[in-house]
A and B are shown apart, each in its own frame.
Chain A
Amino acid sequence: MDGDNQAFPDRTPGVEEREPTANYLSYTVGLTLAILATIASFIVSQTDLLWPPGIPVGLVVLAFAQVGIHLVFFLHLGSGSDHTNNILALAFGVLIVFLVITGSIWIISNLNENMLPMPME
């Protein structure tokens, strides 16, 4: 049994259930939400109405929201028990990404602060 004769419209990786998790509507909802998040990001980065130091934080939050929208509506990652393997792999990936990026920024900014002033060549 290698699943060669199975046909079920299920787009989630590593899930055995046979109920379809995707349809035209879910993709359209995802597209709409992603467009809204994108437009919000561009507006936030350009507007004068917001407190400037808060803008990067807002952009990061919007980016996370959009990644979540992509994961749920395009990659169909759910919270059901069948999705445990996918979610665990994703959680591990997110952990590594977080460590690499924040660790690099933290360490290098610390080094920059502690560096003696050098003459510009």
Chain B
Amino acid sequence: MTVAAIQAVPSVVPTELVRGRGGGGPAPKRTVVAYGFWIFILSDIVMFSGLFAAYAVLSGNTAGGPKPVELFNLRNVFIETMCLLFSSYTCGLGALSAERREPGRFLIFALFTFVLGSAFLIIEASEFASMVAKGAGPSRSAFLSSFFTLVGTHGVHVTAGLLWLVYLVAQVMTKGLRSSVLRRLLCWSLFWHALDIVWVGVFTLVYLMGVE
């Protein structure tokens, strides 16, 4: 631990008591909140696993309609993947800047994250719109129903993450980087990284295995 870190931690209880297992009382609120949110993320991924299973089972049932290879544009998928990956990177750097109490840097990284996340959503929405325009909407076949459910649920999560980010930026600007705001930022960054992990499953199972 550096000297600066010690000065930034005016602790009521001595450190060795806080770090003990049971001896120093309950774990810090930050630890409890982050662990609880980690459990939520895992349950969210379990929910996604149901949608993945439905897609894996139904992706061959095209009912005479368009097949995956006729619908997917891998160039767009690659751009989407890169958008999400770089937004995950800037999200991590933003969260790191917030932990280091650098609100200016945090806001810049939050802006990058928001722009990249929005770009992902815009590409996805235009892809959905062109598929529906081609008569390949969710009601066309079991394959398309499960495709729109899986990819759409991920898109809804990304939208929620972006709205949450706007709300957190407003909190940082009005309340500053106090510890309650930092806890929310920690939860949000976990959520955003988890969305990228789900997207790895989506582009592998849906797009790459669909067209090869």
Residues on A with C-beta less than 8 A from B74 are: 42, 45-46
Which of the four size classes fits the interface of chain A?
35 or more
**Chain A residues within an 8 Å CB radius of B89:** 27-28, 30-31, 74
CA–CA, A47 to B11, complex, Å? 58
Q: Which of B112-120, B127-135, B202-210 contacts A (4 or more CB under 8 A)?
A: B202-210
Question: Could you tell me if A2 and B29 are in contact, using CB atoms closer than 8 angstroms?
Answer: yes
Q: List the A residue with the shortest CB-CB distance to B212.
A: A45
Q: Does A116 contact B (CB under 8 A)?
A: no
Contact-residue bracket for chain B: 35 or more
Interchain CA distance A79-B89 in the complex, whole Å: 22
Q: Which of A4, A27, A42, A104 contacts B96 (CB 8 A)?
A: A27
Q: Which of B79-87, B156-164, B166-174 contacts A (4 or more CB under 8 A)?
A: B79-87
Given contacts A4-B180, A56-B209, A63-B201, 5 further A-B contacts (CB under 8 A): A14-B35, A22-B96, A31-B86, A31-B89, A60-B204
**26 pairs, A vs B, C-beta closer than 8 Å:** A1-B28, A3-B29, A5-B12, A6-B9, A6-B11, A6-B30, A16-B18, A22-B96, A27-B89, A27-B96, A31-B85, A31-B88, A31-B89, A38-B82, A41-B203, A41-B204, A44-B208, A45-B209, A46-B74, A56-B212, A67-B201, A70-B200, A74-B193, A75-B190, A100-B46, A105-B57
